[in-house]
Structure 1
Amino acid sequence: MIKSVLIIGPGSIDGLGMEIAKVFGNKGFKILTLSRNVEKLQKFKDSLAKENIHNAYWVSDIKNKQAVNQCLAEIIVLHDIELVVFNVSVRQPDDIVELSSEELLSSLETNATSVQNFINPLVPHLKKNSGAIITTGGGLGINPDYHKATLSIDKSVLRLITFLLHDQLQSVGVFVGTITVSATIKRNTQSDPAKIAPLYWEMFLNRKNKELLFEG
């Protein structure tokens, strides 16, 4: 099988997920994407095809554990995954005073704790390949901002989950780390996604640091 990268939450065709896909695709990896937005997935697929990068996608709500398990069961049979990139970042209301506990938990599940739906099904597969998991973190997870309350909380929890997984899974040969983007990602700036994406290759290749910081 061709070695593959699974990107969970690939985003738009002009975002970070696309640049990560190009970095690995141009190094011979097949790109697999998973999201609930079929329209975005199709645009992503078509854009990669124009770059002659082999790719395929699956549609699933990442918060639905049963649906995720069904997708992963099919993916694992068809593809040899060496890297999983958790690149989910959905904006939610940001007024910490007005936020309900339900809104807070919903945001947290989407942007952080849903990563757990992928761990148990994928770790045995990744162990065979000495594979890796890389999450997309944010500077708000280190320095929170009440103007961006939910994202601050979500990125903080995702960072902690990543560190805990790193410490536990290194003993079985699976590397886990996070790229912490402490900048607003925007095209044609110092924080262009094309400048951030190579860090994922660096981390995947070197497996030394559980966190790499991009400050723009």
Structure 2
Amino acid sequence: MPAIAIVGSGAGLGLSIAKVFGRHGFDVALIARNEEKLGGFTARLATDGVKAVGFPADVTDPQALVGALNRAADQFGGIDVLEFSVPPVDFVEALDVTVANVRPQMECVCYGAITATQAVLPAMVAAGTGTLLFTTGASSVVPRAAFGSAGIAGAALRNWVLNLHEALGEKGVYVGHVAIGAWIEGTPAPAGVVTMHPDDIAAVYWNLYTTRDQAERLVTA
């Protein structure tokens, strides 16, 4: 069976992506820091008939992240799809940006994505097939002062992902970017803001995986 590794697995979007791919015959590797929560996620997916295994790792620890992805590849006989959706942490507005508060954004969002990609890409290139999907907030595409430090990291990741899309196309590896410009149900949202159900957003990832013809998609409510 094909396998998807979801880095940054959470109870919202990550779980929904796991469900949509799992229902189409994928085994699922869930990677996140909290081992207890991963156990809960795998149990919930099992009730939907989805085989999932949790591999705890912190994306800011390159050795741990690579180790988790390697164990997942051993468990499932390879990784066919990598989905990276680690949210920004403690972001600040544009006027408050400093080197110190941008650094953790880059380590989580950008450096973590590079590390995860380097762990799975050689096998994909060797096989001549594979999919890499990356998630950022919409501020990576449409700058918003309120998301100053998060937008810097997201835009850096987006630039690299679009370059990968171009560079890997002839090697059989599809690369796609999803920029989410909506609040996801189940997460704290400002009063009056329209939200989207994570299952609806997850459907975008499946569409990109199956069509393989778009470098990115901006999702708005």
With normalisation by structure 1, the TM-score equals 0.91
Answering whether residue 52 of structure 2 is matched by residue 55 of structure 1, we say yes
- Of 99, 115, 118, which aligns to 2:116? 118
Measure how far apart 1:147 and its partner are.
1.6
Q: Structure 2, unaligned stretches of length 5 or more?
A: 187-193
- Of 176, 186, 196, which aligns to 1:191? 196
Instruction: Give the count of matched residue pairs.
Output: 212
Answering whether residue 14 of structure 2 is matched by residue 28 of structure 1, we say no
- Of 209, 213, 216, which aligns to 2:218? 213
Measure how far apart 1:171 and its partner are.
2.1
Q: What is the distance in 2 between the residues matched to 1:199 and 1:167?
A: 20
Q: Partner letter of residue 69 of structure 2?
A: L
Measure how far apart 1:96 and its partner are.
3.4
Query: What secondary structure, in the 3-state scheme, does the structure 2 residue paired with 1:31 have?
Result: strand
Identity over aligned pairs, percent: 26
Aligned to 2:86: 88
Task: List aligned pairs for 1:162-181, cutoff 5 A.
Answer: 162-181=161-180
Query: What secondary structure, in the 3-state scheme, does the structure 1 residue paired with 2:153 have?
Result: helix
Deviates more, 1:165-174 or 1:68-77: 68-77
Aligned to 1:146: 145
Q: What is the distance in 1 between the residues matched to 2:216 and 2:153?
A: 17
Q: What is the distance in 2 between the residues matched to 1:75 and 1:49?
A: 17
- Closer, same or farther in 2 for the Cα pair 1:67/1:190, shift >3 Å? closer
Aligned to 1:46: 43
Q: Partner letter of residue 215 of structure 1?
A: T
User: 8 Å contact 1:76–1:125 — kept in the other structure?
Assistant: no
Measure how far apart 1:190 and its partner are.
5.4
Aligned to 1:76: 73
Measure how far apart 1:129 and its partner are.
6.0
Q: Structure 1, unaligned stretches of length 5 or more?
A: none
Question: Once the two structures are superposed, what CA deviation does each residue of 1:18-58 show, in whole Å capped at 9, x if it has no partner?
Answer: 11111011111111111112232122112111212100011
Query: What secondary structure, in the 3-state scheme, does the structure 2 residue paired with 1:56 have?
Result: strand
Question: Once the two structures are superposed, what CA deviation does each residue of 1:164-204 show, in whole Å capped at 9, x if it has no partner?
Answer: 111111121111011121222225x6521111111111110
Q: What is the distance in 2 between the residues matched to 1:213 and 1:41?
A: 28
Q: What is the distance in 1 between the residues matched to 2:135 and 2:107?
A: 15
